[in-house]
Chains A and B, each alone.
Chain A
Amino acid sequence: MGLVDINKVTFEYIRRDEDGNVEGITTAVDGVSLSVKQGEFIAILGHNGSGKSTLAKHVNAMLFPTEGTVVVDGLDTSNEDNLLQIRQTAGMVFQNPDNQIIGQVVEEEVGFGPENLGVPTEEILQRVEESLKVLGMYEYRHKSPNRLSGGQKQRVSIASVIAMHPKCIVFDEPTAMLDPKGRFEVIQAARALNDVEKITIILITHYMEEVVNADRVFVMDKGKIAMSGTPREIFSRVSELKELRLTVPQVTELAWELKNKGIPIRDGILTREELTEELKKYISLRKRERI
């Protein structure tokens, strides 16, 4: 059993007209099963409307399955008594930091979660300090969140989640609104939380570059899981991904294009270093042939 067990989950939105009559039913998630182990870093890709955010909202019991079950750390989300604990176990970070920050001061913002959980004051202070240090935001503790950059605001949001000591964090497109540096900071923070703090990470994103270090990648389409595997396996399937309105990291695409032009490069190149190695190998091979 994993930390998060999603078991044949179907979720339907009921569309109603102005008078409340049922107009139709949209199946946003369609029979998905997925198990995430403690300490894993998984990524979910998929085009707009593929159902990935809907699925993610099941993990901390913001939505409940129409059919199937979601079990988080042994607790079934359909049991109302479990809700508080589930939301403590699985935290969530959203796209727009401005929509989730409420505190006037960074410290206060981060302390809000644990305070709400009834953590004793001494420990709140300790947790605030600890979480801000983990995210590299400790020196900003007395600042107003309004005065921070996008990446910094997002790191404050993450610190607020960390302060509740979750076992798992769901990131729902955390970098969509950030500049390159902000994007880098947030992804680095997510990786560090996984590596060092052993927090389980579920990352939803439209940026292919951000998932190359994930343990497993799932691609969703029409509410179902269309592809799953390691980043290398997934990004070897360039044309399939393009059909699903996605793409591959830029380096991977370059390698794929070179291969199509007859340069022997293996599939699923994920980093600049790998591409450089492959090209160097090819050049020395040709030199040897010439001799």
Chain B
Amino acid sequence: MSLFKRKNNTDTGKEYGPEGSGENRKKYPETDTPDPDGKNSSKDPRVPLLVADHLVYEYSRGTDHLVRALDDVSFSIKKGEFIGLIGHTGSGKSTLVQHLNALLSPVSGTVYFKGEDVFEKGYDRKKLRSKVGLVFQYPEHQLFEETVFADVCFGPKNIGMSRKQAELTAYETIKKVGLPDECFYHSPFDLSGGQKRRVAIAGVLAMKPELLVLDEPTAGLDPKGRDEILTMIDSLRADGEMAIVLVSHSMEDVAQYADRIMVIEKGKKLFDGTPHEVFSHIDELDEIGLAAPEMSYVMRELKKAGIDVNTNVLTIPEARDEILKALG
């Protein structure tokens, strides 16, 4: 962890970052490990992919409707991580994810992508937006081209890939999201809801992001479609390179797919840990309008009825095995 420590900041317990205001933004991180080639810490595998550093954001500044949407939020994201981001409507999740690719700039605090401050003057934020891909809610509403293939080519062409390269990338990406070959030259509007959504996700993936942020990618899909999309998303990080942030209202989904969960409440980060750690706070989650996965409640009920089971259980197979064990 010494990597994150600032030189004169050893006893505060804080691991990284300039305190508070955005004025004293510095090139991140100021490591106490030597940087031999003296310029590029982003090659260092120990540098997190992305660091959110004491982010504060306010809407309607200068009016009496001021809302502090983000209140001192810090975290880091490593390569290959699958993070579930949960919070009730209006908790600040969307505001937060819009900081990750610099669509919104914070009132104070900053975001480091591969060790570089993305809000520093002269930082190439356009490039950042291809490296941090954002898939909004109902992304299929943004489809516009005449064919699936053309739609997926749009992103890579737009960031300056050659035509040939863009087409090759689009081809690979459409395959990757699991669309059949015969879809390539269909109008995206003739596809089913789940397929349209895959096309839209492919459009972002084709820009080869290193961090993919998806805002409720399964809303409105049938149960099988939800599973298919989530399995596909999970497979994207198979090579351990891409990190994923999944914003979701389904506790069951984040419990099943994420290896880390962050809970946002009133603009603050309330919990950050493994699914089992986070969902052990079942009462606090209930209180803030969220929930634990259904299985946690089932196990609590069984325990209350005198059946000796572990209640920190999130998925159906886990619950099944736990009950079988208890029954002996």
* The stretch of A65-73, A106-114, A173-181 that contacts the partner chain: A173-181
Stretch from A83-91, A210-218, A255-263 at the B interface:
A255-263
Decide if B161 is an interface residue (CB 8 Å cutoff).
Answer: no
Size category of the binding interface on chain A:
35 or more
B289/A178 in contact, CB under 8 A: no
Report the bound CA distance from A181 to B221 in whole Å: 20
Which residue, A253, A254, A273, A279, has most C-beta atoms of chain B within 10 A?
A254
A149 to B137, alpha carbons, bound, how many Å? 17
A180 touching B290, Cβ below 8 Å: yes
Q: Which residues of A contact B298 (CB under 8 A)?
A: 250-251, 254, 272, 275
Task: Give chain A interface residues in 42-66, CB to chain B under 8 Å.
Answer: 46-49
Residues in A whose Cβ lies below 8 Å from that of B320: 254, 257-258, 261
8 smallest CB-CB distances across A and B, nearest first, come from A245-B224, A181-B289, A150-B89, A47-B222, A48-B193, A180-B291, A247-B223, A250-B294
Whether the pair B251, A276 counts as a contact (CB closer than 8 A) is no
10 A-B contacts (beta carbon < 8 Å): A48-B222, A150-B89, A183-B249, A208-B223, A246-B223, A250-B293, A250-B294, A250-B295, A254-B323, A272-B297
Q: Majority SS of interface residues in chain A?
A: helix
Across the interface, do A149 and B88 meet the contact criterion of CB distance under 8 Å? yes
B252 near A: Cβ within 8 Å? yes
Q: How far is the CA of A150 from the CA of B91 in the complex (A)?
A: 11
Of B90, B226, B252, B293, the most chain A CB neighbours within 10 A belong to: B90
Does B194 touch A at the CB level, under 8 Å?
yes
**A109 CB, min distance to chain B CBs, angstroms:** 18
How far is the CB of B297 from the nearest CB of chain A, in Å?
A: 6
The CA-CA distance from A247 to B294 in the complex, in Å, is 15
Asked whether any CB of chain A lies closer than 8 Å to the CB of B220, the reply is yes
Asked if B324 is at the interface (CB within 8 A of a chain A CB), the reply is yes
**Chain B interface (Cβ < 8 Å from any Cβ of A):** 87-90, 137, 190, 192-194, 216, 219-226, 249, 251-252, 289-291, 293-295, 297-298, 301-302, 305-307, 316-317, 319-320, 323-324, 327
Residues of A within 8 A of B306 (CB): 280
A49 and B193 contact, CB distance less than 8 A: yes
**In contact, A276 and B301 (Cβ under 8 angstroms):** yes
- Find chain A residues with CB under 8 A from B251 CB: 180
Chain B nearest CB, measured from A186 CB (Å): 12
Which residue among B88, B190, B223, B226 has the maximum number of chain A CB atoms within 10 Å of its CB? B223
Residue in B190, B220, B222, B291 with the greatest tally of chain A CB atoms within 10 Å: B222
- Choose from A180, A261, A279 the contact partner of B302 (Cβ within 8 Å): A279
Q: Which residues in B have their C-beta under 8 angstroms from that of A242?
A: 224
Enumerate chain A residues within 8 angstroms of B89, measured Cβ to Cβ: 149-151, 178-179, 182
Q: Is the CB of B224 within 8 A of A47?
A: yes
Chain A proximity of B74: nearest CB distance (Å): 24
Q: How near does chain B come to A142, taking the closest CB pair, in angstroms? A: 15
Query: Which residue in B194, B290, B324, B327 is a CB contact (below 8 Å) of A283?
Result: B327
- B301 lies within 8 A of A180 (CB): no
A97 to nearest B CB, angstroms?
Answer: 10
**What residues of B have a CB within 8 angstroms of the CB of A49 in the complex?**
192-193
- Residues of B near A149 (CB, < 8 A) are 88-90, 289
A173 to chain B, nearest CB (A): 6
**Smallest CB separation, B311 vs chain A (Å):** 12
Q: Contact at B249–A209, with CB atoms within 8 Å? A: no
B96 to chain A, nearest CB (A): 15
A47 to B220, CA, bound (A): 10
Q: CA of A245 to CA of B193 in the docked complex: distance in angstroms?
A: 13
